[in-house]
Structure 1
Amino acid sequence: MTPAGAAGGFIITGTDTGIGKTVFAAALAGAIDAAYWKPVQAGLDGQTDAQAVARLSGLPPGRILPEAYRLALPASPHRAAEAQAITINPAALALPASPRPLVVEGAGGPLVPLTRRLLFADVFAGWGLPVILCARTSLGTINHSLLCIEALARRGIALHGVAFIGAANDDSEHIIAELGGVRRLGRLPHLATLAPAPLRAAFAAGFRREDFHPGNRRA
């Protein structure tokens, strides 16, 4: 796996699947004028994550980079690959070269397996990009978030901060930041209309763009 290039970027992971990290990734990629890469897509029925980001981010088509693996079964990547008699090769997951910041989206959470011996977090550690953890604001988020924060810290992975998704829950958001020793980046609400313009407005209202500047990253 190659280290992060000079342009840098962020890895987007979540405390769970289906929490809205693809929507956050689209908003972030558009806000920082990045390129987007989903290395492993598991599930090809309907709109893929890359297609959703293309629709929502406002990025030109050339900045939506092709997946390394496109797997039909909507399941954990290790299982989806096995269903097609494929073994995911870590060498195929080298970060693509990009002159712009790269927003890389994982699948599910950091401990999702890519093979029966390799976790996404293992790949994150090799990439060397800071991670943004997307967390729900609903019940259960404190435990799930703190477990993910511990898992990343144990592997020496830099956590840039937590992006919350959902209705405001100030107590949960603050205690996760305090107990986890991490930065609360902001919150993206669920949108009644999921389209580029309202997503841009919601991101601008909920986050500070300067928090994603290369000079404002936590080690």
Structure 2
Amino acid sequence: MTDPIPAVRRLGITGTDTGIGKTVVSCALAARARQLGMRVAAMKPAESGIDERPVSASGLLSDADRLRGACGNVPPLSLVRPYVLREPLAPMVAARRAGVTIALDHLNAARTALEHGQELLLVEGAGGLLVPLTATLSYADLFASWQCDMVLVAGNRLGVLNHVLLTVQALERARLPLLGIVLTSLTDHDATVAEATNFDVLQELLPTQRLLRFPWVDRVEDFDALADAAHASGLDALLGGGAAPHRRAVG
């Protein structure tokens, strides 16, 4: 008699906004998980605006391509990205304008196929936590339906304090467990006053949450470099499954 296959652990990767490093952090987590010998897959349930982006030097076309690459290029792109939408808009809006219906059943089927045989599934949202996929389904709803533990990626810039506090409150209202907040460096230039103080202020305002820094990485398509940055930044704690010490109770 063979041992039963353990349940897949799911990490939801959400952000405070667009363009703040969600995909970079998601790829870093995937690449680091592979370094640690984990079987990992990643998913971006709906990706919009991908034909607006230039082709990179390595030929990677989109966030979903990068996620697939970080996981070893094994799963079909159609599972990594079940819905692809041309216009760079919220998925609900882009889908409506394209005459596409985003269906939870289709997302569930893709997720089930993608995570077969895996230990870890990373699910990257679009924009922030409450971005709508349909009029009745937000990313928060999807993460809750899939029983994801959450990672909040926040760009280190002016305004991030408010954005983080609002998102943490929304996570608590949705009863989504928050494993950690990753404050990303968005530039390699000298830090502004806000950028130099945001981390310490967030620690003061959210003393029960795990707060991590992720550095600026020049070669975002060098998955070994991203994995090394994840390790150096303490992101291994997010892969281990443990909640932040003394995590605030929700509800």
Give the corresponding residue for 2:239: 212
In the alignment, the residues of structure 1 paired with residue 129 and residue 65 of structure 2 have an alpha-carbon distance, to the nearest angstrom, of 22
Deviates more, 1:129-138 or 1:182-191: 182-191
Letter matched to residue 60 of structure 1? G
SS in 2 for 1:22: helix
Structure 2 unpaired stretches of 5+: 1-5, 35-39, 54-60
Give the corresponding residue for 2:42: 36
Equivalent positions of 1:53-202 (< 5 A) are 53-55=67-69, 57=70, 59-63=71-75, 65-94=79-108, 95-96=111-112, 97-98=115-116, 99-166=118-185, 169=195, 171-180=197-206, 182-194=208-220, 195-202=222-229
Alignment RMSD: 2.2
Q: Deviations over 1:142-195 (max 9, x none)?
A: 000000111111111111110110167464224324434553342111223332
SS in 2 for 1:74: coil
Deviates more, 1:93-102 or 1:114-123: 93-102
* C-alpha distance 181-125 of structure 1, shift in aligned 2 (>3 A): farther
In the alignment, the residues of structure 1 paired with residue 136 and residue 238 of structure 2 have an alpha-carbon distance, to the nearest angstrom, of 35
Q: Deviations over 1:186-219 (max 9, x none)?
A: 21112233322332222221124144213x1358
In the alignment, the residues of structure 2 paired with residue 180 and residue 102 of structure 1 have an alpha-carbon distance, to the nearest angstrom, of 27
Larger C-alpha radius of gyration, 1 or 2? 2
TM-score by length of 1: 0.87
CA contact 1:188–1:203 (8 Å) conserved in 2:
yes
| Greater than 3 Å deviation, 4+ residue runs | 167-171
Structure 1 unpaired stretches of 5+: none
CA contact 1:8–1:102 (8 Å) conserved in 2:
yes
In the alignment, the residues of structure 2 paired with residue 87 and residue 128 of structure 1 have an alpha-carbon distance, to the nearest angstrom, of 23
Q: Could you tell me the percent identity over the aligned residues?
A: 35
Give the corresponding residue for 1:11: 12
Aligned length: 212
TM-score by length of 2: 0.76
